[in-house]
Structure 1
């Protein structure tokens, strides 16, 4: 595994314009977790996608300031839970902003029920989809670490509809 710094090129767009444009991109909502000698951590992540089906792999982008970034590398594995419509509160908790008047603290695993599979990383029970990954590679790019995972196990709910994030609000996918 290599953690190589990415050498940024001159930005082609204004940062504020870029953030505004990305805010108009609808994304799925995931919580990425790890557990092991480096600790148990989780973070809400919207930047997750498949890399290839042969072999099954995916990537997630985690801010370098999050303790999850270093812990996933040290633990050598991570898991991804794709949140369902009734799980927006889990997204808020692991984004560091549990709702007002809740007893849940930021980053508190007590906000939901969890299972483990092959690696021991927590997976959200009743998630719309779940992926348990061995860390295959990690690359630093700007403020984030891109974690590449070899998917050791995956599951999909036949009933849960995925939670979507768009324009700083949660929503649902609706077929045309």
Structure 2
């Protein structure tokens, strides 16, 4: 239930009786047809003047603080740590790429072997199908013979 007021609060009861008359008699507010465009803040921490720029004193103070930080040596340590982290990530990426190439090669070899096995199985199935048809034709041609033989040479059951 979005926008609902808590029970017992003023918002739940609505405006007071005296305020209703004030609201009804007040002229409606019209939006300003030419509002002043808002300039984005350069830095939300530093106060800005009416043109949207920080005061000169604030800029000088910030530049002095940055110089102190740069001269303290901690930025070099941060950069060194960042570079070491980047090197570790690069090494891990290279290892992962190498493993991926090896897996792709192994997968390709397995697919090729499986394809060869499937082709051999299909050829064997065709050979057996042809042999079955050959035996059935031979059995049909010799149906009047004294004895019919099965697939493995055993007599066929009626």
Larger radius of gyration between Structure 1 and Structure 2: 2
Instruction: Return the structure number with greater strand share.
Output: 1
Q: TM-score with structure 2 length normalisation?
A: 0.15
Higher relative contact order (CA 8 A, sep 6+): 1
Q: TM-score with structure 1 length normalisation?
A: 0.14
Instruction: Return the structure number with greater helix share.
Output: 2
